[in-house]
A = this chain, B = another copy of it.
Amino acid sequence: MDYKEKFSEDVGSFFRSPVREIFRKVDLNSIYSFAGGYPSADTFPLEEIRRTMSEVIDKYGARAFQYGATQGVPELREAIASRYGVGVERVQVTSSSQQGIDVCTRVLVDPGDVILTSEPSYLGALQSFRSYRADVRGIRHDQDIEIYSRNCEEAVERACRDGKKIKFLYIIPDFQNPSGETLTLQERQMLVGLAERHDFLIVEDCPYRELRYSGKAVPTMYSMAPDRVLHLGSFSKIFAPGFRLGWAIAHPDLLDSIYVCKQSLDLCPPVFDQYVAAEFLGSGRLDLNLAKSIALYRGKRDLMLSLLEEHMPAGVSWTHPEGGLFLFLTMPEGFDAVRFYDRALDAGVAYVAGEFFYPQRGGKNTMRLNFSFMDKERMVAGIQLLASLLRDELCAR
């Protein structure tokens, strides 16, 4: 049977995640993988999780295995609300922060509506946006705020000229995926001002915010405009991605549409996992473990930066993230990171080509490197290998 003719129009805009396709074909432990956004296995406190799970069974009994409220179990919503200083009526637990992105798009975007993003931006978000046939438009960042601001204004004006509705700006302000860069206070204020002037929303995605290794925290955009910004958080990087839990914080009227949508999406987030997260958070174990993760990742970031410094050939540059899981490499013009990928994988090292993160193509000469997943020994060998492959490639040109 030919199923293609049966599919909805949306399916025509689906595209596969190149990252997930890599994982489908390659055993991550058999290669040097800078590809995924995986936390280090060393950050999962197995014994403390085992203990917490047992405590959850003692404390909540059958309730932990029953259906739960669509908004999330009260214990977790309250723990999130108190951690981030917001009213509990502004907290919706999501079944992963990817779901947060997806459900925002679902309730806000009709085919053809404009979503503004940074360029490059998170691949999973681009997948979701495209799947609803949004008109995704990237804005090039610039260190000079005058230029960045002009780029933003121009993107807005272009959308207006095209007769399009801008539904929201999607932004990862802290240690962005894939670039690793963090927006300054002034940049955040500029973006909030832009959204206010042109009356669109901001979806602020903050999965890495608490993984800061140096520098000082910058206020969230949500804190600047709590009725205009929908803030997304995740337990994946501060606890464990295997639980698939995140949260959305927003004005109750906006959250209500997400709540009703979530009823038909999956009724409620995983209940047992929510109690485990609530207990882990409430007992202070999460913060203790997070401090250890930060120390571990700080060391890995520093090592990665010094390895790049030591081994990368001339003409290659990279970002210097203050936190998160990624940094972004730029090779000389003309380099093609997608074409180079097969050679690298054959040699035993994986990355994600930067091009995939560009909403309207571009970034052919870039790649994203993850520094959280591998242990330090493998990171050393992996960067040496990647650097030597790059040296060969760049010399041959």
Contact = CB atoms under 8 A, between A and B. Distances in A.
B244 A271 contact: yes
A99 interface: yes
Contacts of A113: 8
Interface stretch (A36-44, A139-147, A324-332, A353-361): A36-44
B67 A46 contact: no
Given A7-B107, A98-B265, A266-B95, A14 B257 contact: yes
A17 B61 CA distance: 27
A3 B242 contact: no
Interface in A43-95: 44, 46, 49-50, 53-54, 57, 61-70, 95
How many copies of this kind of chain does the complex include?
2
B3 A69 contact: no
Q: SS class of chain A's interface: helix, strand, loop or mixed?
A: helix
Given A39-B66, A241-B67, A109 B8 contact: yes
A268 B253 contact: no
Interface stretch (A123-131, A169-177, A216-224): A123-131
Contacts of A9: 110
A62 B44 contact: yes
Interface of A: 1, 3, 6-11, 14-17, 20, 23-24, 36, 38-39, 41-42, 44, 46, 49-50, 53-54, 57, 61-70, 95-96, 98-99, 102, 106-110, 113, 124, 127-128, 131-132, 167, 201, 227-228, 236, 240-244, 251, 253-254, 257, 260-261, 263-273
23 contacts: A1-B228, A3-B251, A3-B253, A10-B107, A10-B110, A16-B263, A24-B69, A41-B61, A41-B62, A46-B57, A54-B54, A64-B242, A65-B243, A66-B242, A68-B242, A102-B266, A127-B264, A128-B265, A242-B271, A243-B271, A244-B266, A244-B268, A270-B270
